[in-house]
Amino acid sequence: MAKKRRVRSTPSTPVRAVPAPAREIPVSALPASSRRPASSLANYDYSYVRRDLRRIGILAALLLGGQMALAFLLPHLLR
């Protein structure tokens, strides 16, 4: 299969100059309400991951058990 090529289109509007980046504000100049300790930044909620992994494990066990049951029962049922 041939590789698809991406066609570049020319912009219909002229390209504008990018404004200079804003000056960085030192952390000490920020109000106390906007400053957060570094430990709170990594405090995410991953409870949904545990639920999803549990659901996947239960489903995998049920499917594996179903396959094992069919492997034993089908030869007797197909005689």
pLDDT of residue 26: 66
Neighbouring residues of 35: CB distance < 8 A, sequence distance ≥ 6: 27
Mean pLDDT, residues 68-73 taken together = 95
Backbone angles phi, psi at 70, to 5 degrees: -65, -35
- Is residue 67 within 8 A of residue 74, CB to CB? The reply is no
Q: What is the pLDDT of residues 11-66, one digit of tens each?
A: 566 666 666 666 776 666 656 666 655 666 677 888 999 999 999 999 999 999 99
Nearest by Cα to 67 from 55, 59, 57: 59
Give the pTM: 0.44
The position carrying tokens 């030192």 is: 26
pLDDT surpassing 90 at residue 71: yes
